[in-house]
Structure 1
Amino acid sequence: MGTLEKLSRTFTPRKYKRIRKLSQTLEAERRSLSILRRPIKTLYYFNLMLWKLIISGVRNTYHRKAVRRSVLLCLAIYAGLKATDRADVVESSLSFISWWVGLGILSSIGLGTGMHSGLLFLWPHVFRVVTTVEKCGHTDFESYSDVWGTRGDHAFSCKLDVTPKGEVGALGLWKKVGLECFLWGLGTAIGEIPPYALCYSARTAGKKNEDFEEAFSSEGGGDKGALSGYMGSWLDWMLRLVEKHGLAAVVLLSAWPNAAFDMCGMACGHFLMPFWTFFVGLVIGKACIKVHLQCAVFLALFRESSRSAILSYLRRSLAVQVPLLGGERNLGDFLSEAIVKSVENIRDGTAGGASSSSRGSLVEDFREGIKSVPNFLAFLKGAMPSPVSLAMMMIVAIFIISCIEQLARQYKAEEDEKTVESAAKED
């Protein structure tokens, strides 16, 4: 221990032996911190270290003059608007932004187990917009109040003084829902920060404590199965990709529905990628590319004309009989029926939303969304996770456990250093 080496010259042989024994005992206790062997104590030290990092981050942010001045300026502007009864626009905008960004955070913050807020709220909202556009023949109607389980009195209502312009194109529909999709994608990007921050802190602690390299070492004793070896090599490939290409790797890995993206965030934290490089890559990949590609797919499925073309194409091009489907049904008919049923479930869950002017309750919307999810999830993801998904979840769990153990050991190391210093001052 560094403290022991610094003070060793002032010790008598007897005192040095006593302090050295104490140091070795504390080091053995620190190395014994493990989720499997001592879970309660490990989680205790991890929570202490986590709170220390949070408080340190808040304190450092507070001491920056630019942050304090920006906050004070925003509060002063809001107070002025409130005093003149002009704060309604600001409050409604903040409500709108916090709703969609918050849903995006809930969707991705659970390390692969987050809430399916897109299927529950975003895509039903997009469906309501599409059906209203098809009914009204234009996009000049109010839809931004469809937040927090309530809708405005005139939400999704056709304006009588606006002349229908015929069929609205895909670009017009995207403009109507693009902001909601971007904010939701921004929330999913924010939800990926905790794995990055956890590994970044553990890697920083690893610079001070060599135990970190042991926790993340890919070399180990014992025989490894074929699947474990394959997943380990895949993880090594992702680590090298992030280390070599940085921002470009983050954008490419986040620009498509990647169930293993948590690994990318952990790799970025492991290699101490600057926060803004990581976050900008996330925003470009998730909020500017992926969510809008998903939106294009759902718009094509929700529009009557494009959905009919897609179903006709599937029936013609996939007219192949599959024995597992039973009877004489072919693959094209099966997929077409699944799409139609999923769209009908979403329509049933949002019935009356396109033209109703009454306020809905959050509980009712949530229950309606739940009804539309099972078949849609079964069609898109399957009822059970695949072996590859399970293997990825295991790797993520191992990665997270290693970070927790390292942060716990780092806090214990700082505590042990203080203990040794106190013992050295005693006679």
Structure 2
Amino acid sequence: MAANGARCGQPQKRPGAKAKQNGKSTDSSVRERRQKDKEDRLSLVVWRRPVTTLHYFLLETLIKLKEWTVKLWQRRGTVFLVLLLCSLFSFAYSTEGAHQHYVKYLEKRFLWCAYWVGLGILSSVGLGTGLHTFLLYLGPHIASVTLAAYECGSTDFPEPPYPDQIVCPQGGGMEGSISLFSIMSKVRLEACMWGAGTAIGELPPYFMARAARQSGADPEDEDYEEFEEMLDRFISNMCFMISVACAFQIPNPLFDLAGITCGHFMVPFWTFFGATLIGKAIVKMHIQVGI
């Protein structure tokens, strides 16, 4: 007991200084390694190291092809169903019969929708440098349908694609039967397809920011990392509502910033695209058509 008491009474050594020294050396080695990796990434460009860059490009391409092949194999039931539907439609399209009337109708509808989706993509793609197809195409189309509806007294003229001159139905319509909602119903398909196209055009900034985040070029400042983690949690929880709110604003030249932010913070694709689609193809569409 005396020995134990003497041992307890002696001052104990604190390993704090040595541990701190080891921690500092470890942190410095990590910083050096990060700095070296950063310099290697910056020097890995085509005009400086073309062979190495192309080599890594081919390796990354092979890895992506392998990943996509594995994913397709895991969803082979869905892939088989899609191929079967495409084969059936191709057979029905090339075979003569009474069903050709419906096939031609579906083809006309599909091309009409694809036309407006393409115009929507042209309007929003390119980080704000796209062609403003609403003022050039969708707006004049809504105006022409509105004028024709009031002239004919009805919206019961031919389905799209409209001819060069909209033919009024025989007998006309009842006076006062034209309303804002009836005109919106007449142009809803075109406006929705155009809005869906603008949502698709917002995807390149999202994918570019997501790829830049996945490349591993993270900041070295620990305080910034903590702030980024906090902001990451906030963005992940609120990104859907923020994207919807930003998507239907008019005018909206800075929505690309929302796509870049969601891509940087690794927001799931369907969360961002679903919010953008709701904001642009539903909310914003009804606001623009109503105006």
Asked if 2 retains the 8 angstrom alpha-carbon contact of 1:195 and 1:262, the reply is: yes
Residue 205 of structure 1: CA displacement?
A: 2.7
The 2-side partners of 1:95 and 1:255 are apart by: 26
The 2-side partners of 1:296 and 1:42 are apart by: 56
2:84 is the counterpart of 1:79: no
2:281 is the counterpart of 1:276: no
Higher relative contact order (CA 8 A, sep 6+): 1
CA distance change for structure 1 residues 190 and 50 in 2, over 3 Å: closer, same or farther?
A: farther
Residue 89 of structure 1: CA displacement?
A: 0.9
Residue 190 of structure 1: CA displacement?
A: 1.0
* Partner SS for 2:215: helix
Counterpart mapping for 1:134-145 below 5 A: 134-145=150-161
Asked if 2 retains the 8 angstrom alpha-carbon contact of 1:104 and 1:187, the reply is: yes
Counterpart mapping for 1:19-98 below 5 A: 28-33=39-44, 55=65, 59=69, 62-63=72-73, 64-65=75-76, 66-83=78-95, 84=97, 85-86=100-101, 87-98=103-114
Corresponding position of 2:22: none
CA distance change for structure 1 residues 134 and 163 in 2, over 3 Å: closer, same or farther?
A: closer
CA distance change for structure 1 residues 171 and 116 in 2, over 3 Å: closer, same or farther?
A: same
Asked if 1 retains the 8 angstrom alpha-carbon contact of 2:153 and 2:172, the reply is: no
Corresponding position of 1:190: 200
Could you give the per-residue CA deviations for residues 349-379 of structure 1, whole angstroms, max 9, x where no partner exists? xxxxxxxxxxxxxxxxxxxxxxxxxxxxxxx
CA distance change for structure 1 residues 165 and 272 in 2, over 3 Å: closer, same or farther?
A: same
Residue 245 of structure 1: CA displacement?
A: 1.0
CA distance change for structure 1 residues 189 and 176 in 2, over 3 Å: closer, same or farther?
A: same
Residue 114 of structure 1: CA displacement?
A: 0.9
2:124 is the counterpart of 1:119: no
The 2-side partners of 1:133 and 1:268 are apart by: 42
Residue 91 of structure 1: CA displacement?
A: 0.9
CA distance change for structure 1 residues 249 and 241 in 2, over 3 Å: closer, same or farther?
A: farther
Asked if 2 retains the 8 angstrom alpha-carbon contact of 1:195 and 1:265, the reply is: yes
Corresponding position of 1:256: 249
The 2-side partners of 1:286 and 1:126 are apart by: 17
* Letter in structure 2 aligned against 1:166: G
Alignment length (residue pairs): 247
Counterpart mapping for 1:283-322 below 5 A: 283-297=277-291
* Partner SS for 1:68: helix
The 2-side partners of 1:189 and 1:97 are apart by: 15
* Partner SS for 1:246: helix
* Letter in structure 1 aligned against 2:89: I
CA distance change for structure 1 residues 249 and 30 in 2, over 3 Å: closer, same or farther?
A: same
* Letter in structure 2 aligned against 1:73: L
* Partner SS for 1:214: coil
Residue 108 of structure 1: CA displacement?
A: 1.0
The 2-side partners of 1:273 and 1:32 are apart by: 30
Structure 1 unaligned runs (5+)? 1-23, 147-151, 207-211, 220-234, 298-427
Q: Which of the numbers 187, 207, 215 marks the counterpart of 1:205?
A: 215
What TM-score, normalized to structure 2? 0.71
What TM-score, normalized to structure 1? 0.50
Structure 2 unaligned runs (5+)? 1-34
* Letter in structure 2 aligned against 1:194: P
The 2-side partners of 1:216 and 1:179 are apart by: 50
Asked if 2 retains the 8 angstrom alpha-carbon contact of 1:242 and 1:250, the reply is: no
